[in-house]
Amino acid sequence: MKIGVLFKENIKVSIQSIKSNLLRTILTVMIIAIGIMALIGILTAIESIKSSISSEFSAMGASSFTIRSRGMRVNMNGKRYRQKNHSYISYKQALEFKEQYKFPATVCASTRASGTSVAKYLSNKTNPNINVIGTDENYLITNGLELEKGRNFGTAEIIGNRPLAIIGSDVVKKLFNSTNEDPIDKIISVGSTKYKVIGVLKDKGTTFGGGYNQSVILPMTNVRQYFSYPKMSFNITILPTNPLLVEAAVSEAEGTFRIVRGLKAKDMTDFNILKSDRIAKMLIENLSTVTIGATIIGIITLFGAAIGLMNIMLVSVTERTREIGTRKALGARNKIIKQQFLFEAVFIGQIGGLLGIFLGILIGNVIAIFTEGAFVIPWGWMIMGFTLTFFVGIISGYMPAVKASKLDPIESLRYE
Coil, helix or strand at residue 129: coil
Give phi and psi for 40, each to the nearest 5: -65, -40
Cα-atom radius of gyration of the chain, to the nearest Å? 33
Q: How far apart are CA 389 and CA 353, in angstroms?
A: 6
Q: How far apart are CA 272 and CA 96, in angstroms?
A: 17
pLDDT digits (tens, 9 = 90+) for 179-207: 788 999 999 999 889 999 999 999 876 55
Name the band, by pLDDT with cuts 50, 70 and 90, for residue 5.
low
Beta bridge partners, 81, equal: 74
pLDDT digits (tens, 9 = 90+) for 18-27: 777 777 778 7
Decide the pairing of beta strands 130-135 and 215-219: parallel
Residue 241 has pLDDT above 80, yes or no: yes
Residues 6+ apart with CB under 8 A from 38: 294, 297, 298, 301, 360
pLDDT digits (tens, 9 = 90+) for 378-393: 777 778 777 877 887 7
As a whole number of Å, the end-to-end CA separation of the chain is: 37
Name the band, by pLDDT with cuts 50, 70 and 90, for residue 234.
very high
Task: Report DSSP letters for 238-265, one per residue.
Answer: EEESSGGGHHHHHHHHHHHHHHHHT--T
Cβ–Cβ under 8 Å, residues 33 and 389: no
- Nearest Cα neighbor of 279 from 60, 126, 77 is 60
Residue 58 has pLDDT above 80, yes or no: no
Q: Percent of the chain scored above 70 by pLDDT?
A: 80
Beta bridge partners, 165, equal: 197
Give residue 74's pLDDT: 44
Give residue 291's pLDDT: 73
Mark 226-243 as b/e (b = at least 16 C-beta within 10 Å): bbeeeebbbbbbbbbeee
pLDDT digits (tens, 9 = 90+) for 161-182: 999 999 999 999 999 987 788 9
- Nearest Cα neighbor of 398 from 321, 344, 328, 325 is 344
Cβ–Cβ under 8 Å, residues 287 and 279: no
Task: Report DSSP letters for 48-101, one per residue.
Answer: HHHHHHHHHHHHTTTT-EEEESB--EEEETTEEEE--B-PPPPHHHHHHHHHH-
Residue 71 has pLDDT above 60, yes or no: no
Cβ–Cβ under 8 Å, residues 218 and 186: no
- Tell whether the torsion through CA atoms of 54, 55, 58 and 60 is positive or negative: negative
Coil, helix or strand at residue 115: strand
Q: Percent of the chain scored above 90 by pLDDT?
A: 30
Coil, helix or strand at residue 330: coil
Give the global pTM: 0.58
Please report, for the chain, the start and end positions of each structural domain, with discontinuous segments joined by +: 2-56+282-414, 87-270
DSSP 266: T
Residues 6+ apart with CB under 8 A from 221: 134, 158, 159, 160, 161
Beta bridge partners, 124, equal: 121
Neighbours of 151 (CB within 10 A): 11
Beta bridge partners, 134, equal: 111, 218
Provide the greatest CA pair distance for the chain: 104
Most confident of the ranges 131-135, 142-146, 386-390, 405-409: 131-135
- Nearest Cα neighbor of 144 from 201, 197, 75, 220 is 201
